[in-house]
Amino acid sequence: MSPTSLNASALSRLRRYNNAMDIPNIASDPLLSGLNNKQLEAVTLPHQSSLILAGAGSGKTRVLTTRIAWLIQTGQISPMGLMAVTFTNKAAKEMLTRLTAMMPINTRGMWVGTFHGLCNRLLRAHHREAGLPSTFQILDTADQLSSIKRLMKLMNVDDEKFVPKQVQGYINTCKEEGLRADKVDAYDAHSQRLREIYAEYDKQCNREGVADFSELLLRCYELLERDPHIRNHYQSRFKYILVDEFQDTNRLQYLWLKLLAGKENCLFAVGDDDQSIYGFRGARVGNMQDFERDFNVKKIVKLEENYRSHSNILDAANAIISHNKNRLGKNLWTSAGKGEPVRIYEAYNDTDEAAFIVDEIKMLHAEGINLSAMALLYRSNAQSRILEHALFSAKLPYRVYGGLRFFERAEIKHALAYMRLMANANDDTALLRVINFPARGIGSRSLEQLQETARQQDCSLWAAACQSTGKIAGFVQLIREMTDQAYGVSLAEVAELVTTVSGLKAHYENTKDNEDRIANLEELVTAAVAFTNHDFGNHNNVDGETEQDLLTQFLTHASLEAGEHQAEVGHDALQLMTVHAAKGLEFRTVFISGLEEGLCPHEQSMYEHNGLEEERRLMYVAVTRARQRLYLSYAQSRMLHGKVRYGIASRFLDEIPEELIKRLNSKPAAKLSNYNYEEMPHVMTGHKSQEQKNAMPWKVGQSVAHAKFGNGVVVSYEGAANDMRVQVNFSNEGLKWLALEFAKLNPI
């Protein structure tokens, strides 16, 4: 539909809507019925680049879709004259479905999709100019990794010094910054070698006619930048570009949008800087402020009315996020009433916390609330183990959303496979899983020969391996050494032994997603301690029971928890997930667990630029998932890495006004404002007896001075009597452990 084909009524209506002083009558147009004033303002903005600051639960998807329909209906643009960019294919499909329901148009040819999808479409149309064959193939993440491994082998690159996954991350990061190999800085021999691999990888992809995900966007950007004819064509075609989840864009995505929009076109960006939580993926929250400046944005429309949560929940979220600096600024509100207060539970330990959550879930379920209407959130995956165990024991069906149950995670299954071999060396399945993991040069050919020997001799793979030489013999020796070292030690020490001696920890330390995987391996040690204490602590060495028997029982326990009680798809089940996975979802009741310094905010945030602000945005996202009831819980002590630790309640709890809170088991605590959070690192500190605490001359959080290391803050201590050590975070030297017997510390 073109503007000239509009009837007089439509033209008149369009002029009214483009008059900033004239608020239209909502009832006059069915398309706009039900929109609040701010939503209406956003949908009917005149021809200009605009930023829509859309808070959680404010109806941003509806605004974005209605904006597209409005532009088409009023003849300002044809369906083929606009582009809408989303971050997931699911969001793109939902947008097209809604558009079809709104107006009788064929959405088939519309440019609505993800960054990668739209770039692929453009490159297919201009493959020759982009230097690609017409039939170019796209490498997914796994294919890309295989391609890199193959290249590194040809280049004789040591895969221990240059771990393929790290190389993959390096290449993708460079591409997301818009940098080819010749533009990447190299400061030493290691970075120079990485740059060489990147350059050769590019050559290999060009020879084979393939492109990875990051390449799609980078090559599309380069094509538009160097070819003015193609650039002018798309700039004249797409007069309106609409972007969802703008706060999650990285640098290259922003530059691509900027290039495509040019100087004349309108960029309609919808996002929420308070929900920017993907910094680890390259998301750049500063893009929103750059957009405001680069596009001379005259109008920021704030969608602050929330249709999801009650007022107490929103006020708590607003109070938390207000402590972040450099916000564009908004305050969520609702007309739904105050609702229930935010419930806070202070647990004695992590077991008590899990038991409390289970009891509350049971009570709510008995009152008629579906399990699927409740969610249990945590900051990191490793925290799920003890919660899963409590749910499993209570026979409450649950589903881990966007991830695997603890005992089903790859790193845990690898560790358990080593333990299974120690318990029963003839376990062929366990042997095949870890004989070459971490990689020790045992190839498929060697495994085929091993399996053939076992078949001919009618024996287990282990028995055949014991007859082998070379690298297989080395693996046999490793298992024997681990078994010998495990003799007479505790189950927790066996778990620690397996994760270190096997090389699993060292392997994952060199991978991109090492933080979560290492945390899970450390949590396995905790699981072993908990299993010993809670399940069999009173039965060890009774009636001839041995530690080896305990290992077998633990492995049985792990198998049962991994294989049972996982709810089927479609069945009513509690939702377990990390806060990252919860973004975009909502639930009637939300439990947020583990709210202690060091967990939430995560201790890693202190080492990252603006890390604390992203942690606070994570908390904001978590709180705004709840519609009616919100539980916040923390533990005085928690078992981490096989050791009991005590910690400080999260600063985020301190940031919630007391009038919004209902404390379930304690009096209102004194505010923690006297803690200098900027100086004190986010650590969980060692849990000790009262006698040990009294024997400790320094308090956690106390400022001290050392003759050699300078000034610092006491953050932790452990041990007893003459063996007591104190951990101090020094301003210049960082974290140091000092033996109290010898440390010369003075109070400041």
> Helix axis angle, 410-423 relative to 470-485, nearest 10°?
80
CB 700 within 8 A of CB 712: no
275 part of the active site: yes
- Of 39, 275, 351, 578, the catalytic one is 275
Closest CA to 646 of 609, 612, 685, 675: 685
141 included as an active-site residue = no
Active site residue 193: no
| Catalytic status, residue 60 | yes
Whether residue 320 contacts residue 616, with contact meaning beta carbons closer than 8 Å, is answered with: yes
Distance between CA atoms of residues 267 and 235, nearest Å: 12
Sign of the C-alpha dihedral, residues 55, 583, 512, 520? positive
246 close to 291: Cβ distance less than 8 angstroms: yes
Catalytic entry in 195, 385, 433, 625: 625
Query: Do 274 and 324 form a contact (C-beta atoms < 8 A)?
Result: yes
Task: Decide: helix, strand or coil at residue 36.
Answer: coil
H or E stretch at 9: helix 8-17
Q: Say which of 13, 16, 29, 61 is annotated catalytic.
A: 61
Contact 271, 247 (CB under 8 A): yes
Residue 374 and residue 376: Cα distance in Å, rounded? 7
Question: Distance between CA 273 and CA 279 in Å, rounded?
Answer: 12
How many Cβ atoms are within 10 Å of 483's Cβ, its own excluded? 17
CA angle 570, 374, 524 (to 5 degrees): 90
| Helix, strand, or coil (residue 675) | coil
Cβ neighbours of 430 (radius 10 Å)? 24
Structure tokens at 361: 């879930």
CA pair distance 715, 494, nearest whole angstrom: 29
Count Cα atoms within 13 angstroms, Cβ side, for 89.
Answer: 2
Catalytic residue among 38, 60, 433, 645: 60
CB 703 within 8 A of CB 713: yes
Strand partners for 210: 137
Name the pairing type of β-strands 734-739 and 685-686. unpaired
Exposed e or buried b per residue across 461-482, where buried means at least 16 C-beta atoms within 10 angstroms of its C-beta: bbebbeebeeebeebbebbeeb
How buried is residue 276: exposed, middle or buried, by Cβ count under 10 Å (0-12/13-18/19+)? buried
Q: Is 625 a catalytic residue?
A: yes
Per 3-state DSSP, the chain is made up of helix, strand and coil in percentages (nearest 5) of 50, 15, 35
Catalytic residue chosen out of the listed positions 41, 244, 613, 614: 244
Q: Catalytic site residue 61?
A: yes
Q: Which long-range contacts link 177-181 to residues 24+ away (Cβ below 8 Å)?
A: 177/251, 177/252, 178/218, 178/221, 178/251, 178/252, 178/255
- Active site residue ranges: 60-61, 244-245, 275, 625
